[in-house]
């Protein structure tokens, strides 16, 4: 790799880290202005003032905000996410399984949806403006327009309750056989695929069609290549940057935005974990989850940027 590319990549990564720091401040401030108080949320409506005061003192909630921020940031930099206020357990270890579950579900949905979306996109370009193209686009848009809880409930009713092919409750746990795990996530993966499919497919189609206007495509046509070869050999490689961009955006969504699907299918992922702790005002856990989500989002975007830089010949081979 040449120096300008390396420099650009290094800049992107540095920007990403700076952004992450800014996000950490935002997260901290955000959690401070949540209404309610941690001690009250933990002890509930039936808490006595005495018990509340005891709990607040034990948790160090009486320190000023910036002290708590610096303490927290220092902990994270040394790899310590702290302990959950509500359960007293180490956050890193209890988060690990949830994060793994979330990544497993996201990975499952990505493995199905990304190849499918790109294939459908290529097909749509090949038969553009024909029946196939319109059918693919129409179905894709319809599945995206339906809210995910609706498709989720439809699938539960028909596939889980009526046909009983797959379970409606997708509880997974450590030590679960792999086959059972796959069967458990079948329905949520289907819903997520339906949600992200159209976006990626339409972007693939648009990006390739854009390239198809170029002079070199005309040349390829004139030298007698088949339409599909033109698309896969000449158009697709040049449309890769925008496609990777939208794929990464959707991957990020699959990791950070699936709480509704998790709730409907009772899937023990990060989203549910985060919501539980928001409800309990368990600030350290909320902050840790927020930071992990931000890190996933930012790094996937950095990857998309890097792919765009690397796949751009003008940047790879500067004059």
Partner 1 sequence: MSKELDYLSRQVTRGHLSRRDFLGRAAALGVTTVFANSLLSSAARAEGPVKGGTLKAGMTGGASTDSLDPASWQSQVPYKFGRQWGEQLVEIQPDGKLNPKLAEEWGSSDDAKVWTFKIRKGVQFHDGKEMTPDDVVATIERHSDANSKSGALGILGGIENVKKDGDTVVFTLKEANADLPFLMDDYHLMIQPNGGKDNPTAGIGTGPYKVVTNQPGVRHIGEKFANYWDGDKRGHADQIEIIVINDATARTAALQSGQVHMINRVEPKIVDLVKRVPGVTIQNVAGKGHYVFIAHCNTAPFDNNDLRLALKYAMNREEMVKTILRGYGSLGNDIPINKAYPLFSDDIEQRTYDPDKAAFHFKKSGHDGPVLLRTSDVAFPGAVDAAQLYQQSAAKAGITIEVKREPGDGYFSEVWNKQPFSTSYWGGRPTQDQMYSTAYYSKADWNDTRFFNDKFDQLLITARGELDEGKRKQMYRDMAVILRDEGGVIVPMFNDFIDATSAKVGGWVPDGNQEMSGGYALSRCWLNA
* Under rule CB under 8 A, residue 76 binds partner 1: no
Taking CB under 8 A as the criterion, the residue among 24, 41, 204, 238 binding partner 1 is 41
Nearer to partner 1, 282 or 305 (CB): 282
How many of the chain's residues bind partner 1 (CB under 8 A)? 47
- Contact segment (CB under 8 A) with partner 1 among 153-161, 192-200, 215-223, 250-258 equals 153-161
Taking CB under 8 A as the criterion, the residue among 108, 167, 271, 284 binding partner 1 is 167
- Contact segment (CB under 8 A) with partner 1 among 34-42, 119-127, 219-227, 237-245 equals 34-42
- Contact segment (CB under 8 A) with partner 1 among 45-53, 104-112, 118-126, 230-238 equals 45-53
The answer to whether the CB of 286 falls within 8 A of the CB of 88 is no
Beta carbon of residue 263, minimum distance to partner 1 (angstroms, whole number): 5
* Under rule CB under 8 A, residue 261 binds partner 1: no
Nearer to partner 1, 40 or 299 (CB): 40
* Under rule CB under 8 A, residue 98 binds partner 1: yes
Nearer to partner 1, 98 or 205 (CB): 98
Q: With b meaning 16 or more CB within 10 Å and e meaning fewer, what string describes 107-139? A: ebbbebbbeebbebbbbbbbeeeeeebeebbee
Taking CB under 8 A as the criterion, the residue among 3, 49, 77, 223 binding partner 1 is 49
* Under rule CB under 8 A, residue 272 binds partner 1: yes
Taking CB under 8 A as the criterion, the residue among 15, 22, 142, 161 binding partner 1 is 161
- Cα gap 277→275, rounded to integer Å: 5
Burial class (CB in 10 A: 0-12, 13-18, 19+), 259: middle
The residues near 20 (Cβ < 8 Å, ≥ 6 apart) are 291, 294, 295, 298
- Cα gap 135→93, rounded to integer Å: 47
Beta carbon of residue 287, minimum distance to partner 1 (angstroms, whole number): 15
- Contact segment (CB under 8 A) with partner 1 among 5-13, 20-28, 265-273, 296-304 equals 265-273
* Under rule CB under 8 A, residue 273 binds partner 1: yes
* Under rule CB under 8 A, residue 208 binds partner 1: no
Beta carbon of residue 32, minimum distance to partner 1 (angstroms, whole number): 13
**In terms of Cα–Cα distance, which of 312, 178, 193 is closest to 251?**
193
* Under rule CB under 8 A, residue 83 binds partner 1: no
Return the half-sphere exposure (C-beta side, CA atoms, 13 A cut-off) of residue 306. Answer: 17
* Under rule CB under 8 A, residue 55 binds partner 1: yes
* Under rule CB under 8 A, residue 191 binds partner 1: no
Burial class (CB in 10 A: 0-12, 13-18, 19+), 35: exposed
Judged by the rule CB under 8 A, the positions of this chain that interact with partner 1 are: 34-37, 40-51, 54-55, 84, 86-88, 94, 98, 153, 156-157, 160-161, 164, 167-169, 171, 173, 263-266, 268, 272-273, 276-277, 279-280, 282
């Amino acid at each position: 790799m040449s120096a300008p590319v390396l420099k650009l990549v290094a800049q992107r990564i540095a920007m990403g880290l700076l952004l992450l720091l800014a996000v950490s401040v935002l997260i901290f401030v955000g959690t401070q202005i949540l209404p309610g108080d941690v001690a009250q949320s933990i002890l509930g409506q039936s808490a006595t003032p005495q018990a509340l005061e005891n709990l607040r003192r034990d948790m160090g909630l009486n320190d000023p905000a910036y002290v708590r921020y610096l303490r927290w940031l220092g902990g994270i930099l040394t790899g310590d996410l702290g302990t959950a206020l509500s359960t007293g357990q180490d956050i890193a270890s209890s988060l690990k399984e949830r994060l793994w579950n979330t990544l497993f579900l996201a990975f499952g949905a990505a493995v199905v949806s990304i190849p499918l979306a790109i294939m459908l996109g290529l097909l749509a370009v090949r038969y553009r403006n024909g029946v196939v193209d319109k059918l693919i686009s129409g179905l894709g848009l319809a599945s995206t327009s339906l809210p995910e809880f609706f498709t989720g409930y439809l699938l539960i009713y028909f596939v889980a309750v009526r046909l009983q092919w797959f379970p409606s409750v997708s509880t997974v746990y450590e030590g679960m056989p792999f086959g059972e795990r796959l069967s458990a996530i079948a329905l949520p993966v289907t819903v997520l695929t339906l949600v992200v499919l159209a976006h990626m497919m339409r972007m693939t189609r648009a990006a390739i069609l854009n390239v198809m206007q170029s002079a070199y495509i005309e040349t390829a046509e004139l030298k007698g290549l088949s339409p599909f070869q033109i698309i896969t050999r000449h158009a697709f490689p040049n449309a890769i940057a925008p496609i990777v961009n939208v794929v990464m955006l959707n991957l990020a969504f699959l990791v950070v935005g699936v709480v509704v699907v998790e709730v409907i299918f009772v899937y023990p992922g990060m989203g549910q974990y985060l919501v539980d702790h928001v409800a309990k005002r368990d600030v350290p856990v909320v902050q840790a989850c927020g930071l992990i989500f931000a890190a996933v989002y930012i790094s996937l975007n950095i990857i998309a940027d890097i792919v765009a830089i690397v796949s751009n010949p003008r940047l790879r081979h500067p004059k």
